[in-house]
Amino acid sequence: MPLQLPKSSWSTTELEDLRELSRSFLQKEVVPHQERWAAQKKADRELWTKAGDVGLLCLSIPEEYGGGGGTFAHEAVLYEEQSRAGDSAWGVTVHNGIVAHYLLAYASEEKKREWLPKLATGEMVGAIAMTEPGTGSDLQGIKTRAVRDGGHYVLNGAKTFITNGFHADLVIVACKTDPDAGAQGVSLLVVETDTPGFRRGRVLDKVGMKGQDTSELFFDDVRVPAANLLGDAEGQGFVQLMQQLPQERLIIAVTAVAGLEAAVDLTLEYTKERTAFGRPIFSFQNTKFTLAEAATEAAVARAFLDQCVERHLRGELDVQGAAMAKLWTTERVNKVIDDCLQLFGGYGYMTEYPIARAWADVRISRIFGGTSEIMKEIISRSL
């Protein structure tokens, strides 16, 4: 029997219908291909257009731009089901919940109408490039440079760890338009990847998330139209990043909690079927106590996450609240999945078992979107 947790407080009949659609799509178009995608280090490009065909892209973008007209809750349902399906290959959280919302918030009306409908159909895949080979959490220290030249910017630099990097048709690039101005010198430029001077490096070999196309990107004198600047002036990029990061961190929390719940369900099923010394593993006190703690962690994490989702839907989730959500849920999911893996014994270390893949996949959650240490720093500023 799986965990018996109450339905999320923000759930509706419409969202549960979307949950069924998401689940059936993932089971048909994603789950059967996991091993192949891991071997090739990327999902099939056709996955994006298939998702667009059934309406799973840009769920929270207004209908006038080709989106689904929903809210963050619609996105959360899809991300939860993806996490529960054990998939980490499809970079839909970046495409839907991050890239599309930067464009919605900061692109010109003309560019929104040009780009967002293509993201919604899967004709374009979106990525965002912040991290550089020598710069991780310190976004003020980025070296990628954009110099104005008439009606264009000339962009030079390199980025790494870029989700959707291999398939991306459109990349939001954090760069310096004024290298001497610190945070006030950061701008965001949108680069279409068919532009001369743009090139992709290797698809990176990661500990987990083997099927996700995480790549290096290079910009060599790339001429980007000035109209592709996000915002109405240079130097707004750092503020834009700070405004959007709470949603990104809440997305990570959503996937963490769903992954935690899925891990407990997997382990309950395994320990009740697997026997040792003539009885089910679940009957041993250590197993029952471990899973009692895990189930409690799941219930607490779900309650806190639901509160944060409700706040975000009301426009009230602040930077500190989002940092708390990311910190707590990612730390908890890492601990719980490690405890669950232990109960599988040697099989827990075999990659054909979902618990092993989940253990490897989830480790990055304490790093990307801002490390746990950065989350503590952010939280401490409000104390």
Distances (CA, A) of 72 to 36, 68, 115, 146, 163: 31, 11, 20, 33, 21
The active-site residue out of 81, 216, 248, 297 is 248
Residue 222 pairs in a beta bridge with 155
Nearest CA to 323 out of 334, 333, 331 is that of 331
Provide the token pair at 276: 């040792």
Q: Which of 187, 190, 193, 191 is nearest to 241 (CA)?
A: 187
Residue 136: what residue type? G
C-alpha–C-alpha distance, residues 162 and 126, integer Å: 11
Please tell me whether residue 353 adopts helix, strand or coil conformation. Answer: coil
Give dist(CA 114, CA 170) in Å, integer.
Answer: 12
Taking Cα atoms as reference points, which of 164, 148, 284, 319 lies closest to residue 227? 148
248 assigned to active site: yes
Query: Phi and psi for 220 in degrees, rounded to 5?
Result: -120, 95
Contacts of 1 (CB under 8 A, 6+ apart): 268
Q: Is residue 300 packed enough to be buried (19+ CB in 10 Å), middle (13-18) or exposed (0-12)?
A: middle
Nearest Cα to 366, choosing from 324, 331, 337, 335? 331
Alpha helix positions (H), the chain:
13-29, 34-40, 46-54, 72-84, 92, 100-106, 109-121, 237-273, 285-313, 319-343, 354-362, 372-380
Per-residue DSSP letter, 204: P
Active site residues: 248
